[in-house]
Structure 1
């Protein structure tokens, strides 16, 4: 399983939904798990983005399908990055 970092920003619609039902965040995490993406850590952050998530998925296809599904809902916009464990990175440089 590969780890990914997803940074996201709520749309106006997403902010309204979150205000009405903050537990929606956990519901979405459950939906992601059904799509093959497990949320390992999740933070609300201050600044340009609203959330940062550390997740794991089988491959790039699985994570791509999940973020497209989220984007299609119109409540959030994401950027996704592959996270390479530092020890693996160092080993690859040797």
Structure 2
């Protein structure tokens, strides 16, 4: 299944409600599952991003719907990257090489 890395930053609302962040993480995982995605890992980080989520979804549309729903709650803004595992990258290289 395709993997996505979402770089998250708290909004003003999100940081004001920092005490609820672990509960929000559980709600995000549950909502993602209902949309057909799976939160593999969620990390709280130090640096330019407040959190990093690793999500699996069947397709770009499902991943986008999941992260739009997350952002729509108003606690975070997202930057999402499509990630390729080693096997996937091997297929990409083989395709590029002809």
TM-superposed CA distance for 1:73, in Å, is 1.9
| Off by >3 Å, runs of 4+ in structure 1 | none
Greater helix share, structure number: 2
CA distance in 1, matches of 2:87, 2:22: 36
Consecutive unaligned residues of structure 1, counting only runs of 5 or more, are none
Give the alignment's TM-score, normalised by structure 1: 0.87
Q: Is contact 2:44–2:51 with CA below 8 Å preserved after alignment? A: yes
- RMSD, matched Cα: 1.6
CA distance in 1, matches of 2:21, 2:90: 43
CA distance in 1, matches of 2:88, 2:64: 23
Give the alignment's TM-score, normalised by structure 2: 0.84
